Structure 1
């Protein structure tokens, strides 16, 4: 997370969408090409024990972590979308912002050989890393596609479940992300994502700071905004459950302020009507 103590001012410049996308691509491209696993959203790397501890804080079990070969788990995210997705054998799953493939490989185990998991990421380095992890994990039912989550490289009504882990907050056009998710889902399909939501207004300098935007903080939406965006996209049975225990790891995201005063991790669910 960003240390903004030297740049805190009231006249912070609003970051335009293209600048934000490029900054996100550069940040996560750097993480993807690092040879060691990284913790949190920072670029400081940690040892295996620290990485496992932080991953368990997000809601994964030791069995989850042990079942995936090294290199897929980068210590990113703010929850465990697979834990709320209730995946079934034979389903097609789409992961928005798939990173190194950790959640995809866990989902692949759940849906089995008759199912399919598609990971989409806009960072070429992440796609390359995820594809290199396919053989390491002996997975035959997962694939990775380069693309933006606002313009998904999948056909209409072609997936059963959409998951995502602390990625949609990074988009400068969240309503479009949810419209695309709705388009890609089959009738009756469901959305099961982990993301951060804003619980209190951020200081202006943090709200418009590029490192806060790329670090899963400044782009967080309020619960009310998310509910509106999901409903406008067509989703029903929308549920947003705050994970108050997430303050334990969110506090570690910035040395200059306690970010848990402003954001909290949440499980966000919705369903596309049958017709």
Structure 2
């Protein structure tokens, strides 16, 4: 593997995964407890108010107005619920669910006969999301504390997995995709928004856990993601870069034009109808 395709998942032995997770957890705990509207500044956020930031990510005014204040933190790099094609009665799992914005939008689409589960590893964020359940009167949404590499979800119980700019934060992406495959029902699908690497991030940035926590240095290339998804068992994988995302990504860092190195993308894939819970 060349330096050009080197990603966080490939440098796990070089960086302490525990240190990386600690940095991610600390960053999002601070966001969860912030008193101002929005997410501050830095990767996965352009420093605007939450509604302004979410509008640039592809959320409609109707979507933002349909969820009570406090769930939309303006985080992410896309709108996974827009590409998930959710239907009434489906069970949805959100990886890295934050304060619950995408979960509440998904709940509207799957209806009273559906179910939505959010998993997040930051206790303060899970606490905030659970408070938002009551604010939104969402009887079909629940939030669980856990790591996306070790999902607190039973085998073959999920129809659709969504995620918004979270998998890039993991030092063990292969394990994330194996877990996603395990919990999906046969015929289930992924609908993910995330960042992908288009050029090598400077080493000083790549080796900084804070940069990984800010959705800057943790991206994998499209080729590596395709390989990991196929190894996990997924079929019909499609990864589509969104060139227009350069407009907000370049505002994630004042000292470095991040759009030279990463781009937002939609990532979709399917578990085969005959898929086993644990592929080889």
After superposition, the CA RMSD in angstroms is: 1.6
1:4 — aligned with what? none
The Cα shift of 1:46 comes to 6.1
How far apart in 1 are the matches of 2:249 and 2:27? Answer: 19
Which runs of structure 2 are paired with 1:39-58 in the superposition (5 Å)? 39=39, 42=42, 50-58=49-57
How far apart in 1 are the matches of 2:139 and 2:183? Answer: 22
- Compute the TM-score of the two structures, normalised by the length of structure 2: 0.90
How far apart in 2 are the matches of 1:45 and 1:169? Answer: 17
C-alpha distance 76-85 of structure 1, shift in aligned 2 (>3 A): same
Mapped contact 1:36–1:45 kept (Cα < 8 A): no
How far apart in 1 are the matches of 2:15 and 2:86? Answer: 37
The Cα shift of 1:42 comes to 3.4
Mapped contact 1:94–1:120 kept (Cα < 8 A): yes
1:26 — aligned with what? 26
Which runs of structure 2 are paired with 1:1-275 in the superposition (5 Å)? 14-39=14-39, 42=42, 50-275=49-274
Q: Secondary structure at the match of 1:253?
A: coil
- Compute the TM-score of the two structures, normalised by the length of structure 1: 0.92
Unpaired runs of 5+ residues, structure 2, are 1-12, 275-280
Mapped contact 1:182–1:233 kept (Cα < 8 A): yes
C-alpha distance 45-243 of structure 1, shift in aligned 2 (>3 A): closer
Mapped contact 1:199–1:264 kept (Cα < 8 A): yes
Query: Over residues 192-240 of structure 1, what are the superposed CA-to-partner deviations in whole Å (9 max), with x where a residue is unaligned?
Result: 0000000000111011112211000111000000000000000000000
How far apart in 1 are the matches of 2:141 and 2:15? Answer: 35
Unpaired runs of 5+ residues, structure 1, are 1-12
How far apart in 1 are the matches of 2:33 and 2:265? Answer: 29
C-alpha distance 224-208 of structure 1, shift in aligned 2 (>3 A): same
